[in-house]
Structures are given as C-alpha cells and as structure tokens.
Amino acid sequence: MTAAIRQEALRLGFSACGIAKAVDFPSLRPFYTNFIARGAHQSFSYLERYTEQRLNISLLMPEVSSVIAVLMNYYPPELIPEEGNYIISKYAYGSDYPPLIKPRLAALQSFLEQNFGASHTKIFVDSGPVLEKAWAMRCGVGWQGKNTLIINKNLGSYFFIGLILTSLELEANPPETDRCGSCERCVRACPTGALNTPYQLEIGKCISFHTIENKGAVPEEIKKNLNDRIYGCDICQDECPYNQFAIPSTEPAFSPSEELKSMRKKDWESLTQEQFDRLFRNAAVKRTGYQKLMRNISAIAPSGNCQF
C-alpha cells in the first residue's frame, strides 16, 4: 500500500511522498509552548490558537491512523536576474500554490478510497493547525535543517508541503535523519542574524517576515540588510549545499511570466496598482498587497526614485 501510494503521488506530480503513524509530539511541547509564551511568534497569532491540536493530531481527526506527506517542487526553470534588480522569493514567481496542490491531494485522496476502501481523510496545504515540517520529517521526505526548512537529500529545499490525514493503517517510512552535519553556511549567510541559533528562526529578524507579514514600518536594522529584497528572502536556501541538486519544476504555473522576467529597478519603482494586479493576479504576492510591496521598495530605493 505504501509503495502504491508513493507511486501515485509521483504520478500526480509530487516530488516525494512519505508516510508516518499518527502519533503525538510530546517532545515538541516544551519548545512550542515556550516559543509562544515569550512572544517569539510575533504577529503570527494563528500559531497560538489550537496549540493542543498542533501537538495532538487526533484532536483534529479522531479516526486518524496515518499521515501522508508530499513535497511539490517549485524551483523555477528560469531565474529572474538579481544583479542590479529588486528581488522576490522564487516561490512567488508563479501562481499561488494552495490552489495548485489541493486538487492533486484530492486526487490522491480519491486513489486511497478507490483502492483501499472507505476511509476518513483530511487534506492540509498551508492551512489548519498542523505542524507541517514536523510531519514531513517524521514521514521521511526530509529533515528540518539549520535554516529551519525541510531539506530533501536528493532534491534540496525548494518545496511546498502537503499533508493527508487518513484513518487507513499504513506502513510507515523511516523518519529522515539530520544531514546538516557541521555545515553552517545558512547561519553565516543570513545578513540579519535570524538563524544565529541553528534550527531556530528568530522571526523578528527575518527578512521574509518583514517584507511579507509585517504590517508596520520595516525596522532600520532590517532595511540596511535587505540587499534589494522586496518580497521574501532565499539567502539561506541559496547557500545550502543540498540545493546544488535542485531540479527545475515541470509545473508551468510556477514559472515567471515574461513581464515579470523583464522587470528591472526602474520598473518596480514606478509600478502602478494596475500593473501590480496584472503581474500578480494569481500569485502569492497579491495577498501581501500593492501598498506593502511599494513600502518595501521605498525602504531600499534611493530617495526620490520610487513614485509611491
């Protein structure tokens, strides 16, 4: 059953698939509760809600017996030039990912029901109180690296994670082991020190947090380290040796449009709301919004260059 599920997941376009028994995470409780108690989650208030469900999967689905984790590669087949340009994270080049992943997870869900009988299932893609990275690691599709991202030994870390909870009793894959070793390239590369404690992200120092989620002004100490990044940050991923194995995604929806590939600093600085809506109508950047993107550009642009 496990082999058949993995084969079907790969056929549906996922890059990796693993299975784990639906067992709670008592070992994570001290870290998680302390993380919340000291306010390290910043404005991510959703992390505080449903803490017990995150640590106890059966509270989300009482019938759950197994968890299936899949990875979907988003590494773009063509990179937007970064030299002398403003930079957006590679995951945001193309279409937003939940609408692309959910139908494939639904197809895998149907495969389970058609081949292994009636079962209760739930799907999660960047939604619901689940510890996605912890489950991905337990399912054996990767380990959580010193940059806190899931790394697959053969494919790197440019992936989205999807989960299926099922009442089926499935054979589990062995969990992946940490393969970072003594390497700290991601830690040293982070310009703001957000990874100074390996395996833990200090959200308040993270460029991605401030350029995507932070609703206030970008702090001065972050501004001076943006290095032309206006949406997200891939520095710790770009530095990871395992990403030398990154294979371009075959999913056309993750490719940048010709208009986005042609954007240069002067184009970003004069970007209008209409252009923004056209460039990012199906992209994750749209959720952040025009005003915030232009705020980020203004934080970097030489005085007077940005029309915002």
DSSP track, 3-26: HHHHHHHHHTT-SEEEEEE----G
Query: What torsion, rounded to 10 degrees, do the Cα atoms 216, 222, 223, 225 define?
Result: -160
Composition of the chain by helix, strand, coil, percent to 5: 40, 10, 45
209 is written with which tokens? 């947090």
- Tell me the two tokens of residue 51: 């803490």
Q: What angle do CA 154, 83, 246 make, to 5 degrees?
A: 5
Share of the chain above pLDDT 90, in %: 89
66-73 sheet: strands from edge to edge: 16-21, 66-73, 159-166, 121-124
- How far is it, in rounded angstroms, from Cα 155 to Cα 275? 35
| pLDDT at res. 258 | 95
| pLDDT, averaged across the chain | 94
Checking if the pLDDT of 62 tops 90, the result is: yes
Query: What is the rounded CA–CA span in Å between residue 5 and residue 8?
Result: 5
Q: In 3-state terms, what secondary structure has residue 170?
A: coil
pLDDT of residue 49: 85
Report the SS3 class of residue 57: helix
Q: Which residues pair with 17 in a beta bridge?
A: 70
Please state, in angstroms and rounded to a whole number, the distance separating the CA atoms of residues 108 and 119.
13
Residue 232, Ramachandran bin (φ over 0: left; ψ between -120 and 50: alpha; else beta): left
Radius of gyration of the chain (CA): 20
Whether residue 132 is predicted with pLDDT greater than 80 in this model: the reply is yes
Report d(CA 5, CA 19) in Å as an integer: 9
Structure tokens at 200: 């833990």
Tokens of 64: 């759950």
pLDDT at 303 over 80: no
- Per-residue pLDDT tens over the stretch 171-220: 999 999 999 999 999 999 999 999 999 999 999 999 999 999 999 999 99
**What is the pTM for the complete model shown?**
0.94
Q: Using the predicted structure, report yes or no on whether residue 260 has a pLDDT greater than 80.
A: yes
- Find the range with the poorest average confidence among 38-42, 69-73, 138-142: 38-42
Q: Which two tokens stand for residue 124?
A: 């999660």
Cite the active site residues.
126
| Beta-bridge partner residues of 166 | 66, 121
